[in-house]
Chain A
Amino acid sequence: MNAATKPTATRHGYGDALVDLGEAHEDVVALDADLSVSTQSAKFGKAYPERFFNVGTAEANMMSMACGMAATGKVPYCSTFAVFASGRAYDQVRVGIAHNELKVRIGASHGGVSLGEDGATHQMIEDIALMRAMPRMQVVVPADYNQAYRATVESYEKDEPMYLRFGRPSTPVVYEEIPETLGEGVDVLREGKDISIIACGHMVWRAMEAAESLEREDGVEAEVLNVSIVKPIDTETIVESLAKTGVAVTAEEHRIVGGLADAVRHVAAEQHPVPVFAVGMRDEFGISGTGEACMEHFGLTPRGIADRAREALVLKPIVSHPPLHGPEWT
């Protein structure tokens, strides 16, 4: 597979990888709930019709069927929108897949508010929280097409049940090549000493832009971390960065409760207590508009991240532990 060089949706990385997985492994099967063009699983369905099962708009049935298939030696990839995959079929995923420790992959497309026009009913902003809370479930949120491709291919090699979150809109590439691996799940994309910006999914390229503007406008050296595996989270890399910078801002297209913000705060609270500020959805639902307008509406922008970082940096000398010397940027 060729790496994407121009903006491409993460769901396309999933769909392309699924076809390659189907060719490489006879035991891979795919299920979809009448959204196969949107989720991109239709590509698999075209290539391997006998191993593709469209169950219609019946997500609960799809998840439990995948459970039965996995218990009989198949490796099912279930695709639908994030809102249905995690919300509607929660009990089916919980009891049938996670509890049984079955090798089922849930390809959840259209995560977050950037799907745009469909509005609040379809904009899933608490799926990471739900899936993080579920015992044994791994949660993967790739940052771009190239990482989404690798995440999907690599998912076959792992045994744990896995929730992979993809998005609808085309997004700029963060990785110029298809990465060799997701590794432990946290990549330091940009080094810096003043503040850690810890982002996932669609917010990663925005975090990179925010870091650039912080450097340009404020002379702040921000470190940017891409968390592609939100659970289990790579504690070591995060603590290392927190220890270096002493303050962090998280950025996610998701509720700040239960998502990446809480995951990072959990690590910080236990292992290196420094302030962790969050960019994400407050106690609110989504709204209709173009994807980009929705992101703007909720402040999920490079500017939103940079502004939060500026606030964090003001507070850093006051509440950081241990107290730091005067910040260089003043």
Chain B
Amino acid sequence: MESAAGAAAANLADVAHLRPVPDPKPPSRSSEREDAPSTPELERWATVLRIECTRMLAVAKSGHLDSSLSAADIVAALYYRVLRHDPEDPEWRERDRFVLCKGHAAPIQYAALAHHGYFQLRDLMGLRQIGSQLQGHPDMNRTAGVEVSTGSLGQGLSMCLGITLALRLDGLADTAQVFGLLSDGDCQEGQTWEAAMAAAHFEVPNLTAIVDYNHLQTDGTTEEVMDTGDVRAKFEAFGWDAIEIDGHDMNAIVEALERSRGVDRPAAIVCQTKKGRGVSTMEGRFGFHGKPPSPDQAEEALTELEARLAEQTAALQAADAGGGEDDDAGDIGRPPEGEGRT
């Protein structure tokens, strides 16, 4: 363990110059927040998470970066705005549950968990290394905030359904929403549709399936390899409330997620996304699945992402200065009152 810790420290030192400015910890129970983060703030958080993923993968030299980047906006919307969760008490009974069915995108969830204080930020740099709590795919017994281990595609939605039914037995069906984030690969697995059928059959009202439909898989585009077709229509045919949105439109994501809470049936949100979103050399391009970025690619990606972060931060600060709202907004500033608060 000594050497593993030493290696982690060395890895951390390697990337110390890449650290983004420290971000204030968000309030713990998002349900109790008086000041829900605005859309520009959420977009900025998504950039922060993307930077973390790029750094993690550059250090780990292993993992799925492009799959994490396509889900960054969805995960930011969930953790910073929609999910009712409490990092101080990860086992809080009434919390919403989030299951990363596409477990290979673990870095994006780890980044969100670390930024909420489920574990220390520096632990992110241990991703996929011996002795680290951060396994290649999420592990419920090793990482705080992970509800259930995932990684074998197709099983996540069934797990979500099991959680939902258990919550119903506990009388929490009206309180806790279960969100599962699926990939297009999940939708190629037959089991996902077993779960879709069963969720409609058991009439669960508090289950939301989010599909990160990025159209790229290991061997090519989904259209070439196995066309998943109209996933929204498929969910609808299975008896779900199903909508389709732009998975990089923060307003649309937040609105769809919040709306799904009120639906009296299982709800599917098919998010049209681009794999590798936010890094122009990767975005929507085939050939990066499961391949970590080279040092040059990482450098380039980070330069681009950090430039965006700086822009977004400056815009928020400018808006804050214009609004002159509160003094304790810290580095990230606050948008003018009302803006983007859907």
- Contacts A71-B148, A100-B141 known; A95 to B169 CB distance under 8 Å? no
* Stretch from A54-62, A212-220, A251-259, A315-323 at the B interface: A54-62
Identify which of B141, B154, B166 contacts A74 (C-beta below 8 A): B166
The answer to whether B163 touches A96, judged by C-beta atoms less than 8 angstroms apart, is no
Counting CB contacts under 8 A, is B253 at the interface? no
Question: Can you list, as one digit per residue, whether each of B145-181 has a CB less than 8 Å from chain A (1) or not (0)?
Answer: 0011101101110111111111101100000000000
The answer to whether A29 touches B169, judged by C-beta atoms less than 8 angstroms apart, is yes
Counting CB contacts under 8 A, is B198 at the interface? yes
Counting CB contacts under 8 A, is A49 at the interface? no
A35 smallest CB distance to B (angstroms): 16
Identify which of B155, B156, B198 contacts A58 (C-beta below 8 A): B198
Q: Which residues of B contact A67 (CB under 8 A)?
A: 148, 155, 158-159, 162
Q: Which residues of B contact A63 (CB under 8 A)?
A: 158
The answer to whether A58 touches B149, judged by C-beta atoms less than 8 angstroms apart, is no
Counting CB contacts under 8 A, is B140 at the interface? yes
The answer to whether A64 touches B197, judged by C-beta atoms less than 8 angstroms apart, is no
A17 smallest CB distance to B (angstroms): 21
Identify which of B154, B160, B194 contacts A68 (C-beta below 8 A): B160
Task: State A293–B99 Cα separation when bound (angstroms).
Answer: 49
Q: Which residues of B contact A76 (CB under 8 A)?
A: 162
Residue ID in chain B nearest A76 by CB atoms: B162
The answer to whether A91 touches B198, judged by C-beta atoms less than 8 angstroms apart, is no
Q: Which residues of A contact B170 (CB under 8 A)?
A: 72-73
Task: State A95–B191 Cα separation when bound (angstroms).
Answer: 14
Task: State A67–B170 Cα separation when bound (angstroms).
Answer: 16
- Contacts A61-B191, A95-B155, A100-B140 known; A68 to B149 CB distance under 8 Å? no
- Contacts A61-B191, A73-B166 known; A68 to B141 CB distance under 8 Å? no
- Contacts A68-B160, A68-B166, A95-B155 known; A61 to B148 CB distance under 8 Å? no
Counting CB contacts under 8 A, is B125 at the interface? no
Q: Which residues of B contact A69 (CB under 8 A)?
A: 162-163, 165-166
The answer to whether A64 touches B155, judged by C-beta atoms less than 8 angstroms apart, is yes
B59 smallest CB distance to A (angstroms): 26
A313 smallest CB distance to B (angstroms): 48
Of A65, A66, A91, most buried by chain B (CB within 10 Å of CB) is A65
The answer to whether B194 touches A58, judged by C-beta atoms less than 8 angstroms apart, is yes
Q: Which residues of B contact A58 (CB under 8 A)?
A: 191, 194, 197-198
Task: State A72–B168 Cα separation when bound (angstroms).
Answer: 11
User: How many residues on B have C-beta within 8 angstroms of the other chain's C-beta atoms?
Assistant: 32
Residue ID in chain B nearest A99 by CB atoms: B149
Counting CB contacts under 8 A, is A180 at the interface? no
The answer to whether B148 touches A68, judged by C-beta atoms less than 8 angstroms apart, is yes
- Contacts A61-B191, A95-B151, A101-B141 known; A68 to B158 CB distance under 8 Å? yes
Q: Which residues of A contact B165 (CB under 8 A)?
A: 53, 65, 68-69
Residue ID in chain B nearest A74 by CB atoms: B166
Counting CB contacts under 8 A, is B92 at the interface? no
Of B149, B152, B159, B162, most buried by chain A (CB within 10 Å of CB) is B162
User: How many residues on A have C-beta within 8 angstroms of the other chain's C-beta atoms?
Assistant: 29
- Contacts A50-B169, A68-B148, A68-B160 known; A96 to B141 CB distance under 8 Å? no
The answer to whether B198 touches A96, judged by C-beta atoms less than 8 angstroms apart, is no
Residue ID in chain B nearest A73 by CB atoms: B166
Q: Which residues of A contact B202 (CB under 8 A)?
A: 53
Task: State A58–B195 Cα separation when bound (angstroms).
Answer: 9
A76 smallest CB distance to B (angstroms): 8
B117 smallest CB distance to A (angstroms): 22
Identify which of B99, B149, B151, B161 contacts A65 (C-beta below 8 A): B161
Residue ID in chain B nearest A60 by CB atoms: B191
Residue ID in chain A nearest B99 by CB atoms: A68
Counting CB contacts under 8 A, is A301 at the interface? no
Chain A positions 112-132 with a Cβ under 8 Å from a chain B Cβ: none
Q: Which residues of B contact A71 (CB under 8 A)?
A: 140, 147-148, 159, 162-163
Counting CB contacts under 8 A, is A109 at the interface? no
B111 smallest CB distance to A (angstroms): 23
Counting CB contacts under 8 A, is A92 at the interface? yes
- Contacts A58-B194, A60-B194 known; A68 to B169 CB distance under 8 Å? no
The answer to whether B191 touches A68, judged by C-beta atoms less than 8 angstroms apart, is no
Residue ID in chain A nearest B191 by CB atoms: A60
The 6 closest A-B pairs by CB, nearest first: A68-B162, A64-B158, A72-B166, A65-B162, A61-B194, A68-B159
- Where the two chains meet, the residues of B that have a C-beta atom closer than 8 Å to any C-beta of A are 97, 99, 140-141, 147-149, 151-152, 154-156, 158-167, 169-170, 190-191, 194-195, 197-198, 201-202
- Where the two chains meet, the residues of A that have a C-beta atom closer than 8 Å to any C-beta of B are 29, 50-51, 53, 55-56, 58, 60-61, 63-74, 76, 91-92, 95-96, 99-101
Please list 11 pairs of residues, one from A and one from B, whose beta carbons are closer than 8 Å in the complex, sorted by A's number.
Answer: A58-B191, A61-B194, A64-B159, A65-B159, A67-B162, A68-B159, A68-B163, A68-B164, A71-B162, A100-B141, A101-B141
